[in-house]
Structures are given as C-alpha cells and as structure tokens.
C-alpha cells in the first residue's frame, strides 16, 4: 500500500486520531478519549455506557454489540486508554502527532501500548457489522483508565462492581506485546508481584502506581563512623542483599541454560532503591531497601515469604519486612489452555486457520488481565504485531500501518470464533 493510500484509509485515520489524544501520565485527561469513543459508537451504531467505578476522573467506557443468544456469557475485548510519559527531546517525531513516514510507520506514544489494540477491535467490529454478521454471544468492547500505573482506579474496582457483573463476561482478550520475529506470543498468565501499600518514603509513588516490591526497614546500631559496632544496618543490608542476589543468580542461570524459557517463566529480583543515612561519618540507625520481586508460577509464595523472614533473622533481626499482595496469598490461577476451555479452543482454531505461528507465554509484566482472572474469568493477552520491534514505553514508539491493518483481519477471525462458542 502506498503512502497516499495509508493517508486515505479510514481505519488508519481513526487510529491516528485516537493516538493524537494525549491521555498521558502523570495527569491523564480521559474526557477527549470518551468523546472520541462516543463518536465511534455512533458510527458503529452501537450502544455505549460510561462507568465510574472509583471517581469521575477515571471512566470505563464500554461499547456493546448484542448477541443472538444474549443469555450466554459474553466476550470482553479490553484495552486501556492511558499511556506512559514521554521525553519529547528523544523522539524524532512529535509523540502525539501520529506522523506516518514514507515507509508506513506510525509514530506515537500508544501505537504499540496499546491504543492500537482498542482501535483494531473497533475496526474489526465495523467490518463484521458491514458484512451483516451476527453472533451467538454479546461482545463488549471496553476502554479502561489507569492500567499503566496499576489499574487501581480502573479495572481493579470495576471487576468487583455490579456494573461489571451485569456484563456477564465469560472470556476476555487483552493486550500482549509486539514480537520481533514471525511468532505471535499469547499470554495465559502473569507472575505474582509482591506489593507494599504504605510508608512515607514511597507515598507519592504509591499514589501513582502499584509498585512491585519487597521493602525492608533495617534497624541497627548507630554511632560514629570510626567505630566497628556490631549489628549495624549496613551489615544486615549486605547479608540480605547477598541472599537475594544468590537467588537472582539462580534464576539467571535457569534462563541461560534453557532456551525454551522466557523471562516470564522465571522469578526476577532487582534491588531498586536504598534510602537512609545523614552524613558520611555517621552510622545510621535505619536503612530502607526495596527489591522489585516478580514470582514465577513455579514458586511457592508462602515458602518464599518464609525464606525472606528467615534471612532477616539470620542477618541479626531488627528488620521490618513489608510486603503484601493485592490478592490473597498465592498465585492467581492461569487461564487454562487445553480442550477443556472452549474459548481457548476457539482462539487457537482461529490462529491456526490463519496460518499464524503462536507461542504460549507468561506475561513478564502486569496487565489488567490479572484482575479479570482473579474473579474467575479466563483471559488471554494478544497483540497482533509480529515482525515488529518491541517499543512499548520506548522513545520513537511506532507501528507499521500494514501491521495494524493485518491485525484487524486477525481480530476479525478471532472475534467470529469466540463470539460463536
């Protein structure tokens, strides 16, 4: 397709219009997104509802295409409206201009993560409606806020609301990640993230996001820096850090030794912040350290927590360990990907019939699918972007116009299969 054709393509223009809405953190304004989606609903001749599960600054928008057998559990096609911050000086194109170059690359924040997916849903629905298609199951297309900072103001409160329950969701699609190869990753689970919700040091950050971390407040002997006092906070920090890094090294080795494993299949541990002390010659009475910890599905959560507590005692005690999960202890069950799950069968049949090469993976980060799975609804993460560099959250994020349009065709087939289960 030529540049002129890309410029005149209706679906490409809708996509670019959506990308030009700067719903960007730390202070996203979703109202322009809501107005844009209302115009889309009018064009599609579909009813639209706007919900406010937490407050009026964080709307959840749902378009609905009613099925022929609407008593059956429905299909949810989910995406998020928010995007991460940008550093414009590092972009070769304005991050919210949605410029398209002569090669067909559309540059914009959100082009991969994940305004593309939301608009591909709508483009596929538009084409299916135009063809006169009807399906057994009702299809809901949702656009949520706040996913990029944890979903605490969007999907998290929405899934427990009566409004969500009234949608009668039986299966959900959500975002995946671009693939630099021809293989499309399909995500059926996420690692368990340990999170901490209180504390002055991280209070501002906590207001913005669900921060994945294990936080240790390490108390110790204080005094002059010329002394060699026992049980200092620094000694304890060294012991704990050594234990965590040994565990980390084991996971690095697993990943290196088994080429079949992806980063989502192992536990990741990274020391991210250390805070404390007043000046160079004073031994501080308290050091606070945070580790980003994401537990793989083969790790027993309670056993890992017990090991952390044991290491704190071995270090000399006096360590306050602060972590908790947003859910109950343990992993959120992954989506079943065998013949017992008819939605998985329908999804896989669609990709097979299209001749797509797919690979099941555990999502390395976090998406709103974890909230949906937690309430017992199977969910898959899938973004139809293969042969594409992974640029989510990166400078010069782009998606090729042909890849975008190919994704629309892929979703058409997947939606038909899922909605007729």
pLDDT tens digits along 282-301: 999 999 999 988 889 898 88
* Catalytic residue (one of 147, 174, 175, 368): 147
Q: Which residue is it, tokens 């709307």? A: 59
pLDDT at 197: 35
Between 45 and 191, name the one with better pLDDT: 45
Looking at residues 244-270, what average pLDDT do you find? 95
Question: Looking at the chain, which residues constitute the CATH 3.30.70.360 domain(s)?
Answer: 195-322
Between 223 and 325, the more confident residue is 223
Average the pLDDT over 3-18 and give the result. 88
Which token pair is 94?
A: 């304005």
Task: Give the single-character DSSP code of 333.
Answer: P
pLDDT tens-digit series, residues 55-67 = 999 999 999 999 9
Residue 212 has a pLDDT of 55
pLDDT at 321: 86
Start and end residues for every CATH 3.40.630.10 domain found in the chain: 3-191+331-419
Under 8 Å between Cβ of 251 and 269: yes
Strands (E), 198-306: 214-219, 223-224, 268-276, 282-283, 286-295
Q: Is 162 exposed, middle or buried (0-12, 13-18, 19+ CB in 10 A)?
A: exposed
Q: Which of 4-8, 103-107, 175-179, 225-229 is predicted least confidently?
A: 4-8
How long a stretch of residues is the chain? 421
**How confident is the model over 218-253, as pLDDT tens digits?**
999 999 999 999 999 999 999 999 999 999 999 999
Please pick, among 11, 82, 146, 174, the residue that the annotation labels catalytic: 82
**Given pLDDT bands bounded at 50, 70 and 90, which one contains residue 207?**
very low
In tens, the pLDDT along 351-409 reads 999 999 999 999 988 899 999 999 999 999 999 999 999 999 999 999 999 999 999 99
Domain 195-322 class, CATH top level: alpha beta
Residue with tokens 């209070």: 203
Separation CA 116–CA 392 (nearest Å): 12
**Do residues 247 and 269 touch, judged by C-beta distance below 8 A?**
yes
> Is 203 a residue whose pLDDT tops 60?
no
147 in active site: yes
| Beta bridge partners of residue 216, listed in sequence order | 289, 321
Residue located via tokens 């959100």: 110
Q: Among candidates 162, 164, 176, 65, which has minimal Cα distance to 116?
A: 176
Three-state DSSP state, 285: coil
| Joined tokens for residue 163 | 């409004």
Is 82 in the active site?
yes
Nearest in space to 35 (alpha carbons), one of 13, 54, 17, 52: 17
SS (H, E, C) the chain: CCHHHHHHCHHHHHHHHHHCCCCECCCCCCHHHHHHHHHHHHHHCCCEEEECCCCCCCCEEEEEECCCCCCCCEEEEEEECCECCCCHHHCCCCCCCCEECCCCEEECCCCCCCHHHHHHHHHHHHHHHHCCCCCCCCEEEEEECCHHHCCCCCHHHHCCCHHHHHCCEEEEEECCCCCCCCCEEEEEEECEECECCCCCCCHHHHHHCCCECEEEEEECCCEECCCCCCCCHHHHHHHHHHHHHHHHHHHHHHHHHCCCCCHHHCCEEEEEEEEECCCCCEECCEEEEEEEEEECCCCCHHHHHHHHHHHHHHCCCCEEEECECCCCCCCCCCCCCCCCCHHHHHHHHHHHHCCCCEEEEEECCCCCHHHHHHCCCCEEECCCCCCCCCCCCCCCCEEEHHHHHHHHHHHHHHHHHHHCC
CATH superfamily to which 3-191+331-419 belongs: Zn peptidases (3.40.630.10)
Q: What is the pLDDT of residue 245?
A: 97
Overall average pLDDT of the 193-209 stretch: 39
Mean pLDDT for the chain? 92
Residue whose structure tokens are 């949605």: 98
pLDDT the model gives residue 7: 79
Residue 192 confidence (pLDDT): 80
DSSP three-state, residue 11: helix
pLDDT at residue 3 tops 90: no
């Amino acid at each position: 397709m030529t540049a002129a054709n890309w410029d005149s393509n209706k679906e490409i223009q809708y996509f670019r219009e959506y990308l030009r809405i700067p719903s960007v953190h730390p202070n996203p304004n979703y109202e322009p997104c809501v107005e844009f989606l209302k115009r889309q609903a009018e064009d599609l001749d579909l009813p639209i509802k706007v919900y406010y599960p937490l407050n009026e600054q964080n709307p959840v928008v749902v378009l609905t295409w009613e099925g022929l057998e609407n008593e059956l559990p429905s299909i949810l096609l989910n995406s998020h409206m928010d995007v991460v911050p940008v550093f414009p000086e590092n972009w070769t194109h304005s991050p919210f201009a949605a410029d398209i170059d002569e090669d067909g690359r559309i540059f914009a924040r959100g082009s991969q993560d994940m305004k593309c997916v939301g608009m591909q849903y709508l483009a596929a629905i538009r084409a299916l409606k135009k063809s006169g298609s009807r399906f057994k199951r009702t299809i809901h297309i949702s656009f949520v806020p706040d996913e990029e900072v944890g979903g605490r103001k969007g999907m998290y409160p929405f899934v427990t609301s009566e409004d969500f329950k009234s949608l009668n969701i039986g299966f959900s699609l959500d975002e995946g990640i671009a693939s630099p190869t021809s293989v499309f990753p399909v995500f059926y689970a996420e690692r368990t993230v340990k999170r901490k919700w209180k504390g002055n040091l991280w209070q501002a950050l906590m207001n913005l996001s669900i921060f994945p971390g294990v936080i240790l407040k390490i108390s110790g002997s204080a005094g002059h820096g010329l002394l060699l006092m026992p049980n200092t906070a620094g000694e304890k920090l060294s012991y704990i850090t050594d234990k965590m890094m040994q565990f980390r090294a084991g996971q690095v080795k697993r990943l290196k030794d088994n080429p079949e494993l992806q980063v989502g299949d192992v536990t990741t541990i990274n020391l991210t912040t250390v805070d404390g002390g007043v000046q160079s010659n004073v031994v501080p009475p308290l050091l606070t350290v945070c580790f980003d910890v994401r537990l793989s599905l083969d790790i027993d959560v309670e056993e890992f927590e017990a090991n952390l507590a044991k290491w704190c005692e071995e270090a000399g005690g006096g360590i306050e360990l602060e972590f908790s999960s947003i859910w109950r202890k343990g992993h959120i069950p992954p989506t079943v990907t065998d013949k017992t799950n008819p939605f998985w069968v329908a999804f896989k049949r669609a990709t097979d019939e299209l001749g797509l090469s797919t690979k099941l993976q555990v999502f390395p980060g976090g998406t709103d699918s974890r909230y949906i799975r937690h309430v017992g609804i199977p969910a898959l993460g899938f973004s139809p972007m293969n042969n594409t560099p992974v640029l989510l959250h990166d400078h010069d994020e782009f998606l090729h116009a042909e890849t975008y349009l190919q994704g629309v065709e892929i979703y058409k087939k997947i939606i038909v299969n899922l909605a007729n289960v």
